[in-house]
Structure 1
Amino acid sequence: MRFTRKQNALATAVMLASATIVLPAQGHDLAIELVEVTARAEPTDGSTLLSEAPITRPTHDAGELLRSVTGMTALRRGGRGFDPIIRGQSQSNLNVIANGAYSYGACPGRMDPPSTYVGVDSFDSVSVIKGHRSVIYGAGGSGGTLIFEHLRPELGNNGMTGSVTTGYTGNSDLGSLSGDFAVGNDRGYVRAFGAIRESGNYEDGNGDRVASAFESTSAGLVAGIDLSPETYLEISHEQASEDDVWYAGNGMDAVFADSASTSAKWVQRSVGIIDTLEFTAYFSDVDHLMDNYTVRNRSMMPNGAAAPSSSTTWGGRLLATLSSADAELRTGVDYRANDRRAELYMDMGKDGSYDMLVARMWPDAQQRQTGLFAEADYRSSAVDTWRLGLRVDRFDSEVGEAELSAGMMGSATPVRLYEQFYATTQTRNDDHGVSAVLGWDRRLDDAHLMSVNLSRSVRTPDSSEQWIARSANGDFWVGNPTLDAEVHQQMDVRLMHDSGRLNWNLSLFVNEVDDYIERFAAGSADLYRNIDATLFGSELDAALQINERWRARVGIAYTRGYGDNGDLAQIAPLETRLNLDYQQRGWALGLEWVAASRQNNFDPAVDVDSPTAGFGVLHAYGHWNLTGQLLLEAGIENLFDHAYAYHVNAGNLDPFNPEAVRVNEPGRQGWVKLRYTF
């Protein structure tokens, strides 16, 4: 059998993203932080900035971009596929929504988390909701929700706008070319975008080569039209292709990973007593192939291994909004479906011609969720605002190929593996969940705002936790069909200060989790079980406009997590980020110092089995507005060429540097971008 990819019909080319954090919005959604991903001429946080665009830094994908948000980090396996983590929660504890569409990666080893396929180059903003503060974005989301949005373009007098960006990053020889174009009028528009990136392997601060090369292309089309003054219709389609992706933190490399996503949004205003009625529908499809011989020969044995996999997601939401002078009610229904399939083959000749099925890792895993929700914001006084939200969900999950054998070279059927490790032959699991939010915001005075948020959220097991069935060479990775859903009970208290030149916000949070799903090791098997767990921590963000030229920012985050069996996995230690920016009209310079303390609290069954050393690295960056339309950006990452790794990075599985404990970050690297806008 030869594994082939699904064909992409769109051409590729787009623009490289930049990131700057914007202060939270008002109302009970003040916990939403915006990450702008396009250049803007005006300041975005109310401060007085004399330069004509925000200072930016290069990013490889959406997960890496979100590392710049206090309280967030991302797991690195190589140069692509950064897996976001918010307050110690990741994977299916985060809802990732791009233009109204949910999607799930197709790799059981999470080479491709959903953020991989988000064309961060083209999205105008990313909203980061930490914790569970709203019931309208779907079930789960206990760790948070990431919302990537295309905004309606602001067209010039000639009815068009656009940009072209090219960039280069040393060390990894990363080159990029991108474009974003829109045409239309005050009634409708069409927008096209695309990007190309190609990177080699970078060197870490020790001078060791880290497997991280990749080729990436993405493209998309968005069209919107006002059918009437009260009716708006928008349709979008995006495709992304990853080729020859090297991973230091995985036992295989990705031959290809292709994603296609289509969504449609219909908005109707003034429908009787309903102010706005919005319907969104979406369909996304991911096709993925990993092996240990095509991209580079990593197999020491005559036989190679290959694992084709796929993930298909579809669904929609109907949302009605009703408002009065002091209140707003949002209510509706949503549906989400996901089908996943993954198989493991032994390739006798390493050419795809003599393949033997070894395991049905995702044996046609099917998950369905239907939810009913209502959420209201009410201003009870001039200084008090309340939020009350409630949703009820039904979850259905099953596997369609659990009784099928893996073939002559294969092990037991998936259902036999479930029976062997969990004493069950269950192939279906139905459940329901009730989630709720209670929020209170109080304006203490002109400069201070307090926000308290209590919530309950339910997160069902994902396809791997419940149905994975891998058996090869005496090693096992088996999901637990009898797992209960996680129930998160959270409290988040936030105090914000805004006095013009000085802005800061301090958050304290605690999350008590019933039936936390823990991955653990039992001999040569990786298994799953329910435990009780607690996560807690704090975050501080502050910005000071020292004078009209100088600005300082600081972000500090700490999260601690433990359960019945000790420390939880993938919990970042205390992290600090300091920025000092100097800005003149037309140009700006800045320094960023990123530091993390030593992490002695970890789960050896998931994390690398040793503490993670602390680190401190310095980045320099700046830009120069050459003309009103041409912007030059440049910088040096890891200025002093330190060797370091984030605690959450994957364990090194690469023969380039077998002594490395974790996948190291890049050593010193210079970068430059040139953006032309019109």
Structure 2
Amino acid sequence: MSLVSVSSVADDKPLEIKVTRGALEDVSVEHFFPDTLTVKPASDMAELLSSVNGVSGVRMGGRGTDLIIRGQRETQLNILLDGAYLHGGCPNRMDPPTTYASGDSYDSISLIKGSQTVLYGSGGSGGTVILKRNKPALNEQGYHASYSGVVRSNGEGGSISADIAGGNDNGYIRFIGEVADVDSYEDGNGDTVRSAYESRSGSLILGAQLSDNTDLTMSYDRNEERDVLYAGANMDSPESNADIYRMKLEHQFSHSAIQSLKAELFQSNVDHLMDSYSLRNRSMGMYAPSTSDTTGGRITLDAWFGAHQATFGVDYQKNSRNGVVYNYPANQPMGQLWPDVIIEQVGLFGEVNRRLSSLDQIKLGLRYDYITANADNVNTLFMMTQTAAGLYGTVPHQQNEHNIAGFATWQHKLGSDYQLAMTASRSVRTADATERYMAKNNWIGNPWIAPEKHHQLEWVFSNVGETPWSISAYYNRVNDYILRYKASGKDRYQNVDAEIYGADLEYQYPINHQWLLKSSLSYTVGNNVDSNQPLSRISPLSAQLQALYSATTWEAGVVGRFVAAQNNVCLAASDCGGLDVTKTPGYGVVDLFMDYRLSPAISMAAGVDNLFDKTYRNHESRDDVFDPIPLQVNEPGRSVWLKLTGRF
């Protein structure tokens, strides 16, 4: 896997972001240059990553951007929060997993595009996001501390975060905390978009070195969201809480084919509340309390068997979800979000890497998953006479799946600068709790839905010389694609055959030791093969141009983001029955930023987003329920931001 890392000069141990652009190892330019990924502040991790080439996000408000990688989303992506899986408490995706992860709460991010690993759970056809915390780097006095503060002009408010650690060679204790309070922003027209939110989070990490070869880490995270407004939903979220518990044991072996062992356990609990009245000055409406609890663990071994480098292991995950929607003030049940749903997964996996020669290398992966899904509360009455089983058509029984996935990658060097790689893969994604068991009169799950089978080919050709570039193309044929569609005013799910294909291009040109030009292009197409109609919410052609400057004590950049119109749509109001709100016009937006080191301990970053105050919207974003004309939620207009970072 090729990893490209960028970092900011703001901290002595800055956030590291690694992006897998295929099977090849890219070589970055010799000198460091800034990147908007680590300089520009973001509301959560998904917003931070949405500027990566081939990655976009679904906006519903100011919080909870939902990632899309190469046209795939939701549980087509595997997202690990320092080894833990978290499934949000809202079936409408108010709180995807990245909502509970701020950019300052993790030390590194690995973003793997496509299906190129079997190590991180079943599925992952669209990609994998791995957030990690590292052992803190302590100074000679045995501590490390840093802080950061952000203020914004559009959506007035900001955030304050701190990272404090202390210890010695035998162990450490670390605290990471963040508080954010942001008002609703204005779009380029000066119209207010409902997007305000309050959030606070805290993490306590304890690490102990049990022996020269053994380390134990335990952690607890608490995340609280308050008064979160959503322009793209019929409800807001007055309260949402997430607790994550983790325990990790790592051991290094000596004089053995087995090099290391890692054992991990986690528990994540989400309590979510949404309603349509408390934050909208209404005397009646609906409210929906829900819970989503996930328990799991994994054991992974790294080993050398002759010339073969191998990683293999076993993992387990159990997700339990409950949720009911009530009317207010009568407090009568109107439907079931998740009628006591339990989905369990047990997986066996392994990857083997072997260098065939100085020019050729292969990597193979294989995975087996046994999955069970069941809903125990499908006969409870709501709306006086209705039940979940009645909406499904009959009482569903436990569903069992035996899923096999794998990949094969061949990498070949063409001289000193050029590399070629090809990956063939199969990944299987089981349906989530919402797709299986949602039970409302206008939104009905399919308990008998089959899992998606993704069969992908990806080709990558790159130059790793003085002006590095890469071209990747991919084709994904999906059997039993899980399609959400509208029929007779109801959202339903069915299996269809589909295809998703596209290309990513990236190019860097260092003008001199101080100036670097970067450009990227991404193109994705998604089709329902059965109906010969487009898939909904597919990202249009997009490009990005960056001019970056780096000096001794300061850095700066100008970024142009250009997105084409999306006319290849499947509209909800048409016979197609899709989820696209409307055709979306193209746009171009310019951002500016700079980062200046005031002293060895303090740095200041500032920028202007949407410099020319454009009114624009992403095609993938939700429809603005407050707009009488069907349109997606608009992006923010011009916004000036300032970020101060220090350490001591």
CA distance in 2, matches of 1:450, 1:625: 40
Shift of 1:456: 0.4
Distance 1:552 1:643 in 2: 27
Q: Is the 8 A contact 1:18 1:59 kept in 2?
A: no
Aligned to 1:35: none
Instruction: Note if contact 1:28-1:385 (Cα within 8 Å) is conserved in structure 2.
Output: no
**Equivalent of residue 417 in structure 2, options 428, 438, 447:** 447
Tell me the residue number matched to 2:426.
456
For structure 1, which segment, 261-270 or 49-58, has the greater mean C-alpha deviation from structure 2 after superposition? 49-58
> Is the 8 Å Cα contact of residues 50 and 548 (structure 1) preserved in structure 2?
no
SS in 1 for 2:253: strand
Shift of 1:50: 7.5
CA separation in 1, counterparts of 2:553 and 2:34? 5
What displacement does 1:503 show?
1.5
Provide the rounded CA distance (Å) in 2 between the counterparts of 1:293 and 1:601. 36
Q: Tell me whether 1:554 sits opposite 2:553 in the alignment.
A: no
* Equivalent position of 2:4 in the other structure: none
Structure 2 match to 1:385: 361
Deviations 1:14-45 (A, max 9, x none): x9x987865759x94749xxxxxxxxxxxx94
1:179-221 CA distances to partner (integer Å, 9 max, x unpaired)?
0011122332211110001010110001111000000101101
Is contact 2:456–2:474 with CA below 8 Å preserved after alignment? yes
The residue aligned with 1:573 is 540
Equivalent residue in structure 2 for 1:133, among 105, 111, 116: 116
Match for residue 316 of structure 1?
A: 297
Report the CA distance between 1:265 and its aligned residue: 1.0
Distance (whole Å) between structure 1 residues aligned to residue 290 and residue 14 of structure 2: 32
Change (3 A) 1:621 1:19: farther
Cα distance in 1 for residues equivalent to 2:500 and 2:510:
34
2:558–2:592 CA contact under 8 A, matched in 1: yes
Give distance in 1, aligned partners of 2:49 and 2:486.
31
Q: Distance in 1 between matches of 2:28 and 2:471?
A: 17
* CA shift for structure 1 position 264: 1.1
Q: 1:270 to 1:28 in 2, by over 3 A?
A: farther
Counterpart of 2:554 in structure 1 is 587
CA–CA distance in structure 2, aligned partners of residues 113 and 253 of structure 1: 15
**How much has 1:91 moved relative to structure 2?**
0.4
Letter in 1 for 2:292: S
Could you tell me which amino acid in structure 1 is paired with residue 387 of structure 2? Answer: T
Please name the residue that 1:648 is paired with.
Answer: 620
Query: For 2:582, which of 607, 610, 622 is the aligned residue?
Result: 610
**TM-superposed deviation, 1:296:** 2.0
Per-residue CA distance 1:251-275 (angstroms, 9 max, x = gap) = 0000111101011111122175311
Contact 2:18–2:110, Cα closer than 8 Å, also in 1: no
Letter in 2 for 1:483: I
Equivalent residue runs for 1:306-385 within 5 Å: 306-324=287-305, 326-348=307-329, 354-385=330-361
The question of whether the paired residues in 1 share the 8 Å contact of 2:242 and 2:269 is answered with yes
- Per-residue deviation, 1:581: 1.2
- For 1:513-569, what per-residue CA distance to the aligned partner results, in whole angstroms no more than 9, with x for missing partners? 000000111102111100000000000122221101111111110000001231111
What is the match of residue 598 of structure 2?
626
The answer on 1:232 being equivalent to 2:215 is yes
SS at match of 1:417: helix
Residue 535 of structure 1 is matched in structure 2 by: 500
Task: Kindly provide the amino acid, as one letter, of the partner of residue 512 in structure 2.
Answer: N
- The answer to whether the 8 Å contact 1:55/1:623 transfers is no
What is the aligned partner in structure 2 of residue 466 from structure 1?
A: 436
Contact 2:15–2:106 (8 Å) recurs in 1: no
**1:487 and 2:453 equivalent?**
yes
C-alpha offsets along residues 600-630 of structure 1, whole Å, 9 cap, x if unaligned? 1122234343210100000011011111111
Secondary structure at the counterpart of residue 115 of structure 1: helix
* 3-state SS of 2:94 partner: coil
The answer on whether the counterparts of 2:581 and 2:623 sit within 8 Å (CA) in structure 1 is: no
- Within 1, Cα distance between the matches of 2:600 and 2:311? 42
Do 1:557 and 1:575's aligned partners in 2 also have CA atoms closer than 8 Å?
yes
Q: Percent identity, please.
A: 36
User: Does the aligned pair in 1 maintain the 2:181–2:197 contact within 8 Å?
Assistant: yes
Q: CA deviation at 1:661?
A: 0.7
Q: Which runs of 5+ in 2 are unaligned?
A: 1-10, 573-577
Q: Hey, what's the Cα distance between the residues in 1 that align with 2:568 and 2:341?
A: 34
Shift in alpha-carbon separation, 1:497–1:621, aligned structure 2, 3 A: same
User: 2:611 aligns to what SS in structure 1?
Assistant: coil
Residue 667 of structure 1: which of 631, 637, 647 is its match?
A: 637
Closer/same/farther in 2, CA of residues 507 and 216 from structure 1, 3 Å limit: same
Q: Distance in 2 between matches of 1:617 and 1:156?
A: 42
- State the TM-score, normalized to the length of structure 1: 0.90
Quote the Cα distance in structure 2 between the aligned partners of 1:116 and 1:411: 37
Shift of 1:425: 2.7
Does the residue aligned with 1:509 lie in a helix, a strand or coil?
Answer: strand
TM-score under structure 2 length normalisation: 0.94
Distance in 1 (alpha carbons) for counterparts of 2:634 and 2:250: 47
Structure 1 pair 295–614 and aligned structure 2 pair: CA distance change class (3 A): same
Query: What are the superposed Cα offsets for residues 299-334 of structure 1, whole Å, 9 maximum, x if unpaired?
Result: 5xx631001111000101111111156321111111
Equivalent residue for 2:509?
544
Structure 2 counterpart of 1:553, which letter? Answer: K
Any idea what the Cα deviations from partners look like across 1:266-303, whole Å, max 9, x if unmatched?
Answer: 11221753111111110000000000111223x5xx63
RMSD: 2.0
2:3 aligns to what?
A: none
SS for the counterpart of 1:491 is strand
1:55–1:622 Cα contact (<8 Å) kept: no
Q: Secondary structure at the match of 1:312?
A: strand
Higher mean C-alpha displacement, 322-331 vs 564-573: 322-331
Partner of 2:197: 214
- Cα distance 1:187–1:171, how it changes in 2: closer, same or farther (>3 A)? same
Contact 1:206 1:643 in 2 (8 A): yes
The more displaced of 453-462 and 111-120 is: 111-120
Question: How many Å apart are 1:477 and its aligned residue?
Answer: 0.6
Q: How many Å apart are 1:495 and its aligned residue?
A: 1.4
Q: After superposition, what is the alpha-carbon deviation per residue over 1:419-457, rounded to whole angstroms, capped at 9, x for unaligned?
A: 0xxxx4323211110001111111212111212111001
Aligned residues: 629
Summarize the Cα distance change of 1:224–1:527 in structure 2 as closer, same or farther, 3 Å threshold: same
Matched, 1:280 2:264: yes
- Cα 1:505/1:50, change in 2 over 3 Å: closer
Change (3 A) 1:411 1:469: farther
Following the alignment from structure 2 to structure 1, what is the Cα–Cα distance between the partners of residues 35 and 95?
36
Measured at CA, do residues 54 and 467 of structure 1 come closer, stay the same or move farther in structure 2, by a change above 3 Å?
closer
Cα deviation, residue 244, structure 1 = 0.1
Change (3 A) 1:599 1:394: same
1:68 match: secondary structure: coil
Aligned residue for 1:121, secondary structure, equals helix
Q: Equivalents in 2 of 1:29, 1:449: separation in Å?
A: 7
Contact kept in structure 2, 1:191 and 1:223, CA below 8 Å: yes
CA distance in 2 between counterparts of 1:593 and 1:242 reads: 32
Give me the whole-angstrom Cα distance separating, in 1, the residues matched to 2:397 and 2:187. 45
Q: For 1:196, which of 179, 189, 193 is the aligned residue?
A: 179
Asked whether 1:59 is paired with 2:42, we answer: yes
Corresponding residue number in structure 1 for 2:386 = 412
One-letter code aligned to 2:379:
E
- Which residues of structure 1 form unaligned runs of 5+? 1-14, 32-43, 349-353
Evaluate the alpha carbon distance shift between residue 461 and residue 55 of structure 1 in structure 2; reply closer, same or farther with a 3 A threshold: closer
CA contact (8 A) 1:19 1:65 kept: no
